[in-house]
């Protein structure tokens, strides 16, 4: 997400942008050996979708997605998490009028990205059930699953009906789960350094801590957000970073 922010500000050429670039470089220099850990699975595509309302400059919103391969449980809530095979982190071009519209648009963006991945897996002889798509907004899920009557939502009609049609074709199974268990949430918001340090082993393999994403017993504990210290305002950076190009 830091890269998308910097890309949107590069034409401004302001001093604050340079400070953000230095902070990002310091973080990368502190953690130079990032690795993704993959565990054996049944090659069933799973998607976590999330959106962040009015969190980008000029009243724009963000869309995030986390794609991974897992088993085919009775309910998608029971799927064992795995390393990411694809991640969506982008600023939406249009100004959204509500949180529900952001969540529906994010689901639309992620489902469009999921279709070629589904087709590739099928071509590789890995049959796919309706791809589970986890969303943490009950209004968005209600719209898509036809559980809520549509009123005054003309601006989201196209995305709304596209998702309904794809679900009716058994390509997707869009369901709700609280945000703490949504892995796409991390790619849509700014967090304090303490949270970045805490969830890093969830998304990347950390040899020092002896576990990674595939160990289910640590996932909920890691994804629970800590209370943010008001003075802890170094968004997207580690507290104990050394200058770019050096290591402690």
pLDDT value of residue 230? 38
Minimum mean pLDDT range among 73-82, 170-179, 199-208, 235-244: 235-244
CA 243 to chain centre: 29
Task: Inform me whether the pLDDT recorded for 79 exceeds 80.
Answer: yes
- Candidate from 8-17, 197-206, 237-246 with smallest mean pLDDT: 237-246
Whether 8 is covered by a domain: the verdict is no
Does residue 231 carry a pLDDT above 50? no
Please state the domain count of the chain.
Answer: 1
Q: Is residue 9 assigned to a domain?
A: no
CATH number at residue 166: 3.30.420.10
Q: Is residue 112 part of a domain?
A: yes
Residue 92 placed within a domain: yes
Q: Does 246 reside within a domain? A: no
**Is 243 part of a structural domain of the chain?**
no
pTM over 0.85? The answer is no
108: domain range?
Answer: 36-223+230-238
Which residue would you say has higher pLDDT here, 122 or 28? 122
At 236 the pLDDT is 42
Give Cβ neighbours of residue 149 (< 8 Å, ≥ 6 apart).
Answer: none
Lookup: tokens for 214: 């595939």
Q: Kindly tell me if the per-residue pLDDT of 240 is higher than 90.
A: no
Q: Number of C-alpha atoms within 13 angstroms, CB side, residue 230?
A: 0
Q: Is residue 108 assigned to a domain?
A: yes
Report if residue 157 sits inside a domain.
yes
% of the chain residues with pLDDT over 90: 27
pLDDT computed for residue 10 by the predictor: 66
pLDDT of residue 126: 94
**The predicted structure's pLDDT at residue 229:** 46
For 78-89, letters b (16+ CB in 10 Å) and e give ebbbbbbeebbb
Among 11-20, 43-52, 84-93, the range scoring the smallest mean pLDDT is 11-20
């Amino acid at each position: 997400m830091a890269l998308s922010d910097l890309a949107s500000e590069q034409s401004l050429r302001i001093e604050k942008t340079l400070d953000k670039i230095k902070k990002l470089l310091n973080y990368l220099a502190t953690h130079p050996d990032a690795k993704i850990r993959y565990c054996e699975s049944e090659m069933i595509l799973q998607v976590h979708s999330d959106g962040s309302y009015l969190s980008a400059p000029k009243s724009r919103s963000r869309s995030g997605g986390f794609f991974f391969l897992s088993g085919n449980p009775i309910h998608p809530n029971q799927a064992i998490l795995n390393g990411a095979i694809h991640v969506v982190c982008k600023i939406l071009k249009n100004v959204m009028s509500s949180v529900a519209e952001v969540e529906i648009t994010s689901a639309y963006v992620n489902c469009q990205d999921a279709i070629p991945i589904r087709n590739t897996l099928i071509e590789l002889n890995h049959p796919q059930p309706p791809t589970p798509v986890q969303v943490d907004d009950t209004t968005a899920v209600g719209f898509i699953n036809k559980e809520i009557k549509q009123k005054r939502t003309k601006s989201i009609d196209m995305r709304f009906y596209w998702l309904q049609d794809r679900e009716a074709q058994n390509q997707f199974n869009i369901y709700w789960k609280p945000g703490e268990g949504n892995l796409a949430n991390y790619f849509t918001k700014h967090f304090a350094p303490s949270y970045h340090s805490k969830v890093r082993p969830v998304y990347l393999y950390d040899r020092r801590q002896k576990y990674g994403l595939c160990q289910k017993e640590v996932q909920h504990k890691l994804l629970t957000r800590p209370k943010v210290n008001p003075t802890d305002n170094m968004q997207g950076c580690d507290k104990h970073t050394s200058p770019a190009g050096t290591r402690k």
